């Protein structure tokens, strides 16, 4: 596991993040929401922006961004910057 702690990496993810059609439904389902595509993209960008870089962890090809304040962990493919999923964290869940 590699901890990522540079502002440049956060900026790169924010600049290059991309979504598949299927991921919108997956995010709504996992977060128990009914948001539009635009609202999902706003939410994901806000979570990434407001998460401290020490909470960005790279394991294999994925980057896990854990935002304890929002109780959410994002999974992003580090090669494509494509969001894979967003998971609600329970009180016992920790970073991978």
Digit-coded pLDDT (tens) for 4-61:
545 578 999 999 999 999 999 999 999 999 999 999 999 999 999 999 999 999 999 9
d(CA 45, CA 64): 14
Q: What is the pLDDT of residue 9?
A: 81
* Residue 33, domain member (yes or no): yes
Q: Is residue 34 part of a domain?
A: yes
Pick from 20, 21, 25, 70: nearest CA to 49: 70
The answer as to whether 12 is a domain residue is yes
Quick count: other Cβ atoms within 10 Å of Cβ 50? Answer: 10
pLDDT attached to residue 87? 97
Number of domains comprising the chain: 1
Q: Cα(6)–Cα(32) distance, rounded to whole angstroms?
A: 31
The residue segments making up the domain with residue 61 are 2-88
> Which pLDDT does position 90 carry in this prediction?
85
User: pLDDT tens digit string along 65-90?
Assistant: 999 999 999 999 999 999 999 999 98
Looking up residue 42, the CATH number of its domain turns out to be 2.40.10
Both tokens of 26, joined, read: 């997956």
Does some domain include residue 96? no
pTM for the full predicted model? 0.86
- Residue 67 covered by a domain: yes
Q: Is 57 a member of any domain?
A: yes
Find out whether 81 and 13 touch, Cβ atoms under 8 Å. Answer: yes
Is 95 a domain residue? no
């Amino acid at each position: 596991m590699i901890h990522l702690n540079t502002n440049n990496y956060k900026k790169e993810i924010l600049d290059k993040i991309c979504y598949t059609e299927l991921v919108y439904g997956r995010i709504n389902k996992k977060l128990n929401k009914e948001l539009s595509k635009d609202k999902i993209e706003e939410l994901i960008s806000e979570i990434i922006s407001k998460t401290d870089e020490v909470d960005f962890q790279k394991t294999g090809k994925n980057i896990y961004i854990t935002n304890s304040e929002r109780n959410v962990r994002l999974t992003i493919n580090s090669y494509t910057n494509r969001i894979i999923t967003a998971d609600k964290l329970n009180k016992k869940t920790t970073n991978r």
